[in-house]
């Protein structure tokens, strides 16, 4: 058990804790501060702490990670004794940093303190830190020195939440032996500031403070702003992620609202489909299934998957923060070492297509991805080819720029590849065999700024309909005429000319293309629409308002078969919610009843959940959002008759944050959470 050093706790008061806030930062100032980070594109995440000692295993179960303290419900005194076993004598900061550098990474983010409260640095605020272990050495100091030597930026992860500190609230839901009577959250905030000051004064310039654990209701917007301003008062140029901000952070919210108290967004374990336009963002992702070391987890992503993810993220304007979970001895798992080595070989040849690039000018490319750079007098496109053309011709659709030259980035001689034009597209003659089966980069220089015409958008809202469906064709070029067909054939100037929205009453396949002066100037968009018969409603003998529920407790990585389990509670609720739960982790709900559909039409249903969920209508699976993941939305669409339809939603949460939103939309109904007035049992 640790003790806290007196005299530190009240150094900073909540009301006047630091210098007056600086003047609002200009956009130019923000862009300048973010420049190195935006240029870097690729970094290493390191989750390392006491949780490496049990290595993911406790009392016969082997699927734990850095959350093992609460996942396995290990008492504080028992968990604290891991410090007596933590002795990473094989740790070598120089080797770690060199592996990151050779993999093409430009910065390292390491856990200075995770949720368990154990500090991996020499702090004077608590003896629950690395200096109280047999190792008795500060690895963060070594990493700071090694990063400076190799030219990488050292960055610190710091957990706002702290399961060890006596003043952090709330306690873990299952803890019954830690009273809260004398807990003082203001003292915890002062403790946190004191540690952050150490991190920002004892290790030189720090690139990023990567906060986490911000979701408890004790952490509010006032604290987020205060900590953000405080850290920048010590190191004005430091970059701080959005998780210093209070509350849940879903991608939809990040994409539509300005980030509060943070400099970049942090989608976790996923890549936003279209990036997060207008926002700096970074996808953090594990190499296997855990952040912290798990000796039994050998489910590693392949080098191919990782490289293509890196290309995908860079093409959308994001950064990729790829995780390694070292052992308690201080070694990277061999699988991680192997992948870092292979990624480094690819980056050594192709890093130019990643670093200092901007998102490509194309919304989608069926053969891969694209990044770009501005070069005086021209545009330089980097074409990341995943699917190599079997006919030896790579097509660049809708590109009106005149080509200057093209070559393989891996070719030191820059041997020119022939470029020709066919209608709207540039055609690059390439070798018949892909030089790199994972991702070959072709460089294409164009005259001027990108002049790309995307295929027309076929806008109808739904891909199925019951009676009729209005269709709109949209181009981002006012000067382009849109010709279309309704039989799947390629449009020509002799096809139908789009003038106004039209209505379809039978199943069709619409294709559309932009033309200018009778010549095609875009690729072709294609979309199938099906007329379907609505699913019949039910006529239950008796229905009552509300939805039935069954509540379960247990640990799962995916939704269980609830028919084989005995619920802890069951009953009815006015709406879908978690009110009957007894704990914040390791629980599940199975909601069953009827959904009252107000009129015959097509309906889209959405589950936005953390962790997994599934939604059923009339016994059919409509939305499958199962698995371990952060807040993630998925959608399904069905044609439904007016009346009652059997309805079921299943949900489980393992560890960490939890949330579930069930929404509905139709042509006459804006997307909204399903109201209680539509739920019956």
536-579 pLDDT, tens digit per residue, is: 999 998 899 999 999 999 989 899 999 999 999 999 999 999 99
CA–CA distance, 659 with 627 (Å, rounded to integer): 14
What percentage of the chain's residues is helix, strand, coil (to nearest 5)? 20, 35, 50
The predicted structure's pLDDT at residue 246: 81
Domain 358-447 belongs in CATH node 2.60.40.1180: yes
Coil vs helix vs strand at 130: helix
CATH H superfamily, domain 44-353 = Glycosidases (3.20.20.80)
**670: buried, middle or exposed (CB in 10 Å: 19+, 13-18, 0-12)?**
exposed
Whether 671 has a pLDDT exceeding 70, the answer reads yes
The ranges of the chain annotated as CATH 2.60.120.1560 are 547-680
What is the CB neighbour count within 10 angstroms for residue 527? 15
592 closest CA partner among 640, 637, 644, 650: 650
Cα angle, residue 563 at apex, residues 557 and 568 outer, rounded to 5°: 75
Pick 457-531's CATH classification: 1.10.3470, 3.10.450, 3.40.50, 2.60.40: 2.60.40
> With helix as H, strand as E and coil as C, how does 381-450 read?
EEEEECCCCCCCEEEECCECCCEEEEEECCCCCCCCCCEEEECCEEEEECCCCCCCCCCEEEEEEEECCC
Q: Which residues pair with 592 in a beta bridge?
A: 548, 648
CA distance 282 to 590: 34
Measured in degrees and rounded to the nearest 5, phi and psi for residue 507 equal -65, 130
- The DSSP H or E segment spanning 255 is helix 251-256
pLDDT at 20: 37
For residue 651, what is the enclosing H or E element? strand 643-653
pLDDT for the residue numbered 253: 43
Residues forming beta bridges with residue 502, ordered by sequence position: 471
Distances (CA, A) of 348 to 25, 102, 104, 371, 620: 36, 8, 7, 17, 49
Quote the pLDDT of residue 247.
Answer: 65
Indicate the helix (H) or strand (E) that contains 615: strand 613-617
* Helix, strand, or coil (residue 307): helix
Is residue 223 classed exposed, middle or buried when 0-12, 13-18 and 19+ CB atoms within 10 A define those classes? buried
Is the model's pLDDT at 227 over the cut of 60? yes
What residue has token string 């669409």?
637
Side-chain-side CA neighbours of residue 422 (13 Å): 10
177 confidence band (pLDDT: 50, 70, 90): confident
CA 437 to chain centre: 26
* 78 CB-near residues (< 8 Å, 6+ apart): none
- C-alpha 312/C-alpha 451 separation (Å) is 22
Q: Describe the crossing of helices 185-201 and 221-234 by its angle, rounded to 10 degrees.
A: 30
User: 51: closest CA among 237, 292, 258?
Assistant: 292
Rounded CA separation 259/581 (Å):
32
Burial class (CB in 10 A: 0-12, 13-18, 19+), 281: buried
Cα 31 to Cα 234: distance, rounded to the nearest angstrom: 19
Task: For residue range 394-440, list pLDDT tens digits in order.
Answer: 999 999 999 999 999 999 999 999 999 999 999 999 999 999 999 99
Average pLDDT of the chain is 92
Asked if pLDDT for residue 3 goes beyond 50, the answer is: no
DSSP state, residue 269: S
Band the pLDDT of 657: cuts 50, 70, 90: confident
Q: Is the dihedral of CA 162, 90, 54, 659 positive or negative?
A: positive
- DSSP 8-state code for residue 58: B
The fold of 547-680 is Jelly Rolls (2.60.120)
User: How confident is the model at residue 629, as a pLDDT?
Assistant: 83
Structure tokens at 334: 């061999």
Q: Could you read off the pLDDT of 53-67 as tens digits, one per residue? A: 999 999 999 989 999
| pLDDT at site 1 | 32
Q: Tell me where in the chain the CATH 2.60.40.1180 domain(s) lie.
A: 358-447
| Residue 263 clears pLDDT 60, i.e. is over it | yes
CA distance 375 to 377: 6
What's the length of the chain?
681
Q: What is the pLDDT of residues 103-117, one digit of tens each?
A: 999 999 999 999 999
Q: Would you state the pLDDT for residue 252? A: 45
CATH 3.20.20.80 in the chain: give the residue spans: 44-353
Whole-prediction pTM: 0.88
Closest C-alpha to 488, from 457, 520, 527, 516: 527
Using one digit for the tens of pLDDT, what is the confidence trace for 265-292? 999 888 999 999 989 999 999 999 999 9
CB 547 within 8 A of CB 572: yes
Mean pLDDT of 371-397: 96
Note the pLDDT of residue 437.
97
Q: What is the pLDDT of residue 2?
A: 35
Q: DSSP label at 365?
A: B
What is the model's pLDDT at position 365?
95
The pLDDT score that the predictor gives to residue 279 is 92
> Per-residue pLDDT for 126 more than 60?
yes
Q: For residues 347-370, give the mean pLDDT.
A: 97
The Cα–Cα gap between 147 and 205 comes to: 11
Instruction: Single out the residue of 344, 433, 406 nearest to residue 102, CA to CA.
Output: 344
Written as six digits, the tokens of 376 are: 């005086």
DSSP state of 562: G
């Amino acid at each position: 058990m640790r003790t806290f050093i007196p005299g530190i706790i009240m150094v900073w008061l909540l009301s006047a804790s630091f210098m007056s806030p600086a003047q609002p930062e200009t956009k130019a100032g923000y862009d300048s501060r973010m420049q190195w980070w935006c240029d870097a594109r690729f970094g290493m995440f390191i989750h390392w702490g006491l949780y490496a000692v049990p290595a993911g295993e406790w009392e016969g179960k082997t699927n734990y990670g850095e959350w093992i303290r609460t996942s396995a419900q290990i008492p504080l005194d028992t968990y604290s004794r891991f410090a007596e076993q933590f002795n990473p004598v094989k740790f070598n900061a120089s080797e770690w940093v060199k592996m990151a550098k050779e993999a093409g990474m430009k910065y390292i983010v390491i856990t200075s303190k995770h949720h368990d409260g154990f500090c991996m640095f020499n702090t004077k605020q608590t003896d629950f830190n690395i200096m109280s272990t047999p190792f008795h050495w500060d690895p963060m100091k070594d990493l700071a020195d090694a990063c400076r030597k190799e030219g990488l930026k050292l960055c610190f992860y710091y957990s706002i939440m702290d399961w060890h500190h006596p003043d952090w609230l709330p306690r873990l839901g299952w803890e019954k032996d830690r009273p809260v009577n004398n807990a003082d959250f203001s003292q915890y905030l002062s403790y946190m500031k004191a540690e952050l000051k150490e991190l920002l004064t004892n290790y030189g310039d720090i690139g990023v403070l990567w906060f986490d654990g911000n979701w408890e209701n004790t952490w509010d917007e006032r604290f987020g702003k205060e900590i953000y301003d405080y850290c920048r008062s010590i190191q004005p140029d430091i970059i701080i992620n959005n998780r210093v901000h209070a509350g849940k952070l879903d991608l939809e919210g990040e994409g539509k609202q300005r980030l509060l108290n943070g400099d970049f967004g942090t989608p976790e374990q996923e890549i936003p489909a279209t990036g997060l336009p207008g926002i700096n963002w970074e996808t953090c992702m594990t190499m296997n299934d855990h952040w912290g070391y798990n000796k039994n987890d050998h489910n590693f992503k392949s080098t191919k998957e990782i490289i293509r993810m890196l290309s995908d993220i860079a093409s959308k304007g994001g950064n990729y923060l790829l995780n390694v979970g070292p052992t308690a001895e201080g070694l990277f798992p061999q699988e991680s070492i192997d992948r870092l080595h292979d990624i480094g070989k690819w980056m050594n040849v192709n890093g130019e297509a990643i670093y200092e690039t901007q998102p490509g000018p194309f919304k989608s490319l069926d053969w891969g991805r694209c990044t770009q750079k501005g070069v005086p007098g021209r545009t330089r496109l980097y074409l990341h080819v995943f699917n190599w053309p079997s006919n030896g011709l790579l097509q660049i659709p809708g590109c009106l720029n005149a080509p200057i030259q093209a070559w393989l980035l891996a070719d030191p001689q820059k041997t020119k590849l022939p470029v020709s034009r066919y209608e709207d597209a540039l055609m690059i003659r390439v070798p018949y065999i892909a030089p790199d089966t994972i991702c070959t980069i072709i460089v294409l220089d164009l005259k001027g700024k990108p002049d790309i015409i995307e295929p027309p958008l076929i806008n109808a809202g739904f891909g199925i309909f019951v009676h009729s469906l209005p269709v709109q064709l949209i181009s981002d070029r006012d000067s382009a005429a849109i010709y279309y067909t309704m039989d799947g054939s390629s449009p020509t100037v002799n096809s139908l000319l789009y003038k106004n929205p039209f209505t379809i009453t039978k199943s069709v396949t619409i294709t559309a293309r932009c033309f200018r002066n009778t010549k095609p100037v875009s690729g072709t968009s294609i979309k199938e629409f099906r007329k379907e018969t609505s699913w019949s409603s039910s006529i239950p003998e008796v229905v009552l308002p509300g939805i039935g529920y069954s509540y379960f407790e247990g640990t799962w990585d995916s939704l269980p078969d609830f028919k084989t389990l005995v619920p802890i509670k069951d009953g009815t609720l006015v709406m879908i919610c978690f009110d009957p739960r007894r704990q914040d982790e390791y629980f599940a709900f199975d909601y069953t009843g009827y959904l009252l559909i107000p009129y015959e039409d097509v309906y889209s249903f959405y589950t936005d959940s953390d962790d997994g969920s599934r939604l059923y209508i009339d016994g059919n699976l409509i939305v499958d959002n199962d698995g371990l993941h952060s807040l993630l939305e998925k959608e399904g669409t069905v044609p439904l008759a007016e009346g009652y339809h059997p309805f079921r939603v299943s949900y489980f949460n393992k560890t960490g944050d939890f949330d579930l939103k069930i929404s509905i939309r139709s042509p006459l109904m804006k997307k909204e959470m399903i109201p209680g007035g539509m739920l019956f049992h």
